[in-house]
Amino acid sequence: MNFLSNERLQLVAWFLSLVVFILALYILLLNPRHTANRHVSGLLFLLAVNLFAMGLMVGGVPAAWYGMPLNAATVPAIPPAIFVTSVVLLKPKWLHGRWRWFLWLVYGLVLLPIVLTVAD
């Protein structure tokens, strides 16, 4: 008996994606004006989209065509998003100091793969 069939892996990935998406909404709605809540919620939303794309790619071949662009857009954007979120959580004053230009560069690295994938 195969406990990890393609359908079960797909359902597990989609369930985890739903849980992470609900957690992202919950964190955002706790205090939407706080910078840390917005950044953590954005990172979790990015991870939820990535898990959803992985669930699409586990399934059959026609569904994989929809999952590949989502995965190509989110995988390169996750490490810079983790970096920005960790800076916001550990050193929040860097968002208002002279290092702000560096964080805007990292924000560009987060958005660049998404914009290029949509343009393609």
Average pLDDT score, the chain: 86
From residue 24, how far is each of 32, 36, 63, 69 by CA, in Å?
11, 12, 25, 22
30-73 confidence digits (pLDDT tens): 999 998 999 999 999 999 999 998 888 886 666 567 778 888 88
Is the pLDDT assigned to residue 104 strictly greater than 70?
A: yes
Q: Are 85 and 44 in contact (CB under 8 A)?
A: no
Closest alpha carbon to 117 in 53, 57, 74? 74
CB 74 within 8 A of CB 49: yes
pLDDT band at residue 15 under the 50/70/90 scheme: very high
Yes or no: say if 44 and 53 are a contact pair by the CB < 8 Å rule: no
Using a cut of 0.75, tell me whether the model's pTM lies above it: yes
